[in-house]
Chain A
Amino acid sequence: GNSVTQMEGPVTLSEEAFLTINCTYTATGYPSLFWYVQYPGEGLQLLLKATKADDKGSNKGFEATYRKETTSFHLEKGSVQVSDSAVYFCALRTFNNAGNMLTFGGGTRLMVKP
């Protein structure tokens, strides 16, 4: 079956530090990969995505590259801000007649201190 594994948090960083949140996956076929972000008290929002190998998704200074050889989709940001404090979820998508079936990782909480 499909699965997503993320590094456990919380990850605590100072403002302007470099961020990496690791994500690896197991899937049949060629899934699309996503990062979602959940700010306190809110639902999840799509942060970025990549649909095929070697694609790089990017948004709001965050980046992740679809690495088929290592089955990874690590999230990076060069300089984090306090406002980036949230829970980040890696996910993969399989598409069938059920629509967009997303399998989520366990989430990684990021705390950025001023």
Chain B
Amino acid sequence: DTAVSQTPKYLVTQMGNDKSIKCEQNLGHDTMYWYKQDSKKFLKIMFSYNNKELIINETVPNRFSPKSPDKAHLNLHINSLELGDSAVYFCASSSGTNTGELFFGEGSRLTVL
């Protein structure tokens, strides 16, 4: 069983569209994250949720709206997509214990045309 799964794996869409990426973890973790990886492989935290509550919201346009229906799911909705949104988006989760280990999904490659 995949521990952290994201769908879709690939997403190609036009500028101005709205799209969502879903993430689910079956590890029983309390905290989930969205990271953005650009074309140069830089990874940047976007959001962090702990038990369905938003904890971290880095400088991200408000076109990006995370939603956590329960602690096993953290979805990312993006409105009015722009060219600069093209990237690989990674979902991750971690337990409440002080281990520092994040478990990542395989990523969702978004291409905005």
Contacts and interface: CB of A to CB of B under 8 A. Distances in A.
B61 interface: no
A108 to B, nearest CB: 9
B96 A99 contact: yes
Nearest to B100: A93
Given A98-B55, A100-B31, A107-B43, A41 B106 contact: yes
A46 B92 CA distance: 12
Given A46-B102, A93-B100, A98-B55, A87 B41 contact: yes
Interface in A5-60: 32, 34, 38, 41-46, 49, 51
A43 B104 contact: yes
A101 B44 CA distance: 11
Interface in B68-98: 90, 92, 94, 96, 98
A99 B104 contact: no
Given A87-B41, A99-B30, A44 B55 contact: no
Nearest to B32: A99
Contacts of A109: 41
Contact of B106 (A43, A51, A99): A43
Contact of B101 (A49, A95, A103): A49
B42 A100 contact: no
B104 A44 contact: yes
19 contacts: A38-B41, A41-B106, A42-B106, A43-B92, A43-B104, A44-B92, A45-B104, A95-B98, A97-B55, A98-B48, A98-B50, A99-B48, A99-B50, A99-B55, A99-B96, A100-B102, A101-B48, A104-B43, A106-B42
Interface of A: 32, 34, 38, 41-46, 49, 51, 87, 89, 93, 95, 97-104, 106-107, 109
Given A42-B106, A43-B4, A99-B30, 10 more contacts: A41-B106, A44-B43, A44-B92, A45-B104, A89-B43, A98-B31, A100-B101, A101-B45, A107-B41, A107-B43
Please list the 3 inter-chain residue pairs (A to B) with the smallest Cβ-Cβ separation, ordered nearest first. A43-B104, A99-B31, A107-B41
